[in-house]
Amino acid sequence: MMAIGALLMFLGIKKEYEPTLLVPMGLGTILVNFPSSGVLTQVFGGVEQKGVFEILFDAGIRTELFPLLIFIGIGAMIDFGPLLQNPFMLLFGAAAQFGIFFTVIVAILFGFNIQEAASIGIIGAADGPTAIFVANTLAENLLGPITVAAYSYMALVPIIQPIAIKAVTTKKERQIRMTYKAESVSKMTKILFPIIITIVAGFIAPISLPLVGFLMFGNLLRECGVLDRLSFTAQNELVNIVSILLGLTISYKMQADEFLNVQTLMIIAFGLVAFVMDSIGGVLFAKLLNLFRKEKINPMIGAAGISAFPMSSRVIQKMATEEDPQNFLLMYAVGANVSGQIASVIAGGLLLAFFA
């Protein structure tokens, strides 16, 4: 486990794969795996002394406080502008959640129970806090490997997506050009949008409201125009402080007896399946729409509907430029990518609603 901790830190520091989580998690993994480690509960002279990691875990993860606080910061960072300029992109966010549900089926086929399978599937949300939130509710025992898989694959989007996209598209399809047409967006629209998302989510899946509500609260801080100081704090100090605590605290679930098993290897493999099938689901949806549309959509836009922002939209633009140096898809891809940020949270909420 100490080698795994070192590997997580190496990936974070040297490869810059999600360092905000992997570096604290890597050191935390080393800390929790010392025999009689003081960060875990120990008995001294017949008296039980609760370890600091357990205190943090009970306070921040078991209560789901840390992922929700991070959501406020993420919400404050999201600009819905590119999405509202092309609202049609919303549908690609929905399509690219396919990997979640496909992976649930795969996990069941390999013997996981339905709650565990749903927790593994949520890796495909490509959204760390949502994965932690759902896994903690449905299968706390799998929280460690699910978190490692979710954050690792998010960092690997630039490698995974081009392979998945090329597997289901032709060169000609990847060269499709899209004329950029955009609506300008008023301030009132930007203010009302997060409020309405909260209300819609509340009516359809009220159990998703902690996820959606905190995310949209953060966005409202950003857009309302009178709380810039709070928005700045949410985007910076809040996210930074909670990320430090979250990374360390998650490593409580990185103890050898819980992590070193065949299930972990399977979860890591299924996480890859989830990311690949997200991309394929989005691309195939775009291709389906193209059967009925006069103005064709570049199917790569569909793959941008995952939540990994802004990596995915950058990948799509890079691929488009490789196929045709004059092809400019970035704004469409950004719209789909932002939609993925909404859709992943909704998907997480629906998973919880299914078991409620």
Partner 1 sequence: MNIEALKIGFELMLFGMGGVFLVLFLLYLVSIALLKLFPAKQKIK
1 contributes a contact to partner 1 by CB under 8 A: no
- Determine the interface stretch with partner 1 among 91-99, 140-148, 230-238, 313-321 (rule: CB under 8 A): 91-99
- Dmax of the chain from CA atoms? 77
Q: How many CB atoms lie within 10 A of CB 114?
A: 14
Alpha-carbon distances, residue 106 vs 113, 145, 164, 274 (angstroms): 11, 17, 18, 10
Residue 328 contacts residue 297 (beta carbons within 8 Å): no
Q: Does 114 bind partner 1 (CB under 8 A)?
A: yes
Structure tokens at 143: 């929280």
Residues 6+ apart with CB under 8 A from 49: 41, 42, 43
Please answer whether residues 106 and 99 qualify as being in contact, where contact means their C-beta atoms are separated by less than 8 angstroms: no
From 67-75, 87-95, 138-146, 161-169, span contacting partner 1 (CB under 8 A): 87-95
Binding of partner 1 by 346 (CB under 8 A): yes
CA distances from 309 to 113, 183, 226 (A): 31, 22, 26
101 binds partner 1 (CB under 8 A): yes
Size of the site for partner 1 (CB under 8 A): 48
Measured from the CB atom, the residue of 201 and 304 that comes closer to partner 1 is 201
In the complex with partner 1, which residue's Cβ is closer, 89 or 234? 89
- Using CB under 8 A as the binding rule, whether residue 347 contacts partner 1 is answered as yes
Distance CA 151, CA 271 (A): 10
Q: Which positions from 5 to 44 touch partner 1 by CB under 8 A, shown as an x/- string?
A: ----------------------------------------
Q: Please report whether residue 168 would count as binding partner 1 according to CB under 8 A.
A: no
Q: Is the bond into 310 cis (omega within 30 degrees of 0)?
A: yes
Examine residue 167 and tell whether it contacts partner 1 (CB under 8 A).
Answer: no
CB nearer to partner 1: give 251 or 339. 339
Number of alpha carbons in the 13 Å side-chain half-sphere of residue 84 = 16
Query: Does 102 engage in binding with partner 1 (CB under 8 A)?
Result: yes
Q: Is 105 in the site for partner 1 (CB under 8 A)?
A: yes
**91 forms part of the interface with partner 1 (CB under 8 A):** yes
Taking the complex as a whole, the smallest distance from the CB of residue 334 to partner 1 amounts, in Å, to 14
108 binds partner 1 (CB under 8 A): yes
Binding residues among 118-137 for partner 1 as defined by CB under 8 A: 118
Q: Considering the rule CB under 8 A, would residue 185 count as an interface residue with partner 1?
A: yes
CA 282 to chain CA centroid, nearest Å: 16
* Binder among 29, 97, 312, 337 for partner 1 (CB under 8 A): 97
| CA proximity to 279, closest of 156, 109, 112 | 156
Q: At a CB cut-off of 8 Å and minimum separation 6, what does 79 contact?
A: 222, 338
Phi, psi (rounded to 5 degrees) for 269: -65, -40
- In sign, the C-alpha dihedral spanning 211, 215, 221, 225 is negative
152 contacts partner 1 (rule: CB under 8 A): no
Among 16, 58, 183, 228, binds partner 1 (CB under 8 A): 183
Tokens of 326: 């004059």
Give the separation between CA 96 and CA 336, rounded to whole angstroms.
9
Taking the least distance from each CB to partner 1, the nearer of 163 and 182 is 182
Binding site for partner 1 (CB under 8 A): 83-85, 87-88, 90-91, 93-95, 97-98, 100-102, 104-105, 108-109, 111, 113-114, 117-118, 182-186, 188-189, 192-193, 196-197, 200-201, 204-205, 339, 342-343, 346-347, 350-351, 353-354
